[in-house]
Amino acid sequence: MMPAEDFEALARVCPETVTLELISGKLEVKPVPDGDHDEIIMWVAMQCVQQRPELRLYRGRGLRIGGDHNDRARPDGTLARAGRFAGDGAWSSPDRILMTVDVTSYDESPVKACGYAAAGIPLRLLIDRRSGTFAVRGEPDSARYRHQRLYDVGEAATLPHPASITLDTEELKNYTG
């Protein structure tokens, strides 16, 4: 098990070709996103800002997650009110975060999602490029999200409170599958 302080020191000197996370005390390495991944995140950001101009989707924001906030994750997107992270260092507390967004084309470990839930982050959006689906998870408790709704890309979906945004996912067909 790697202590959070050691992880933060390592993450500061990590090359820009990878992203490091500390999940359940274990070091995880993620590759830098490709162009389709970036297009999906920008699409989510535009949908959010158009419907809720007071919000921002922050890319790659470092979060302290887990029940004890000792894990470190960098979701692809973090939805919060504009100005939420002003004055924060590299790693922010999960308070006042409305939703995390991750885009993947591989099988993601449920441990990271459990860390978001344990930290009390109300919503999680997971877009799976390979399967052409996206999952909206809500109602976090100390170990998991109690509610999940799975959609196919192309379906419209309403993200519940506190995001309160309707996603028209037709455009995502260009970047998934």
> 32-36, 40-44, 166-170: lowest mean pLDDT where?
32-36
Is the separation of the CB atoms in 17 and 29 below 8 Å? no
Please check whether residue 23 lies inside any domain of the structure: no
What residues pair up with 148 in beta bridges, in sequence order?
137
Does the pLDDT value for residue 175 go beyond 60? yes
pLDDT tens digits, one per residue of 100-114: 999 986 656 677 889
pTM listed for this prediction:
0.88
Please check whether residue 132 lies inside any domain of the structure: yes
Region 33-53: mean pLDDT is 94
Please check whether residue 16 lies inside any domain of the structure: no
Is the separation of the CB atoms in 33 and 85 below 8 Å? no
Please check whether residue 3 lies inside any domain of the structure: no
pLDDT tens digits, one per residue of 25-35: 888 887 778 89
Q: What is the pLDDT of residue 67?
A: 87
- Pick 5 or 82 by higher pLDDT: 82
Domain hosting residue 103, numbered range = 34-174
Does the pLDDT value for residue 146 go beyond 90? yes
Please check whether residue 58 lies inside any domain of the structure: yes
Nearest Cα neighbor of 71 from 117, 38, 37 is 117
Is the separation of the CB atoms in 54 and 81 below 8 Å? yes
- Pick 101 or 143 by higher pLDDT: 101
Mean per-residue pLDDT of the chain: 91
Please check whether residue 49 lies inside any domain of the structure: yes
Please check whether residue 14 lies inside any domain of the structure: no
Q: What is the pLDDT of residue 53?
A: 98
CATH number at residue 152: 3.90.1570.10
CA distance 144 to 51: 28
Specify the amino acid at residue 30: K
Nearest Cα neighbor of 56 from 90, 101, 11, 26 is 101
Q: What is the pLDDT of residue 169?
A: 93
- In the numeric block, the tokens 């006042």 are attached to 96
Count of the separate structural domains present in the chain: 1
Please check whether residue 143 lies inside any domain of the structure: yes
Q: What is the pLDDT of residue 127?
A: 94
CA distance 44 to 167: 8
Does the pLDDT value for residue 118 go beyond 60? yes
CA distance 41 to 35: 10
If phi over 0 gives left and psi between -120 and 50 gives alpha, with beta otherwise, what is residue 120? left
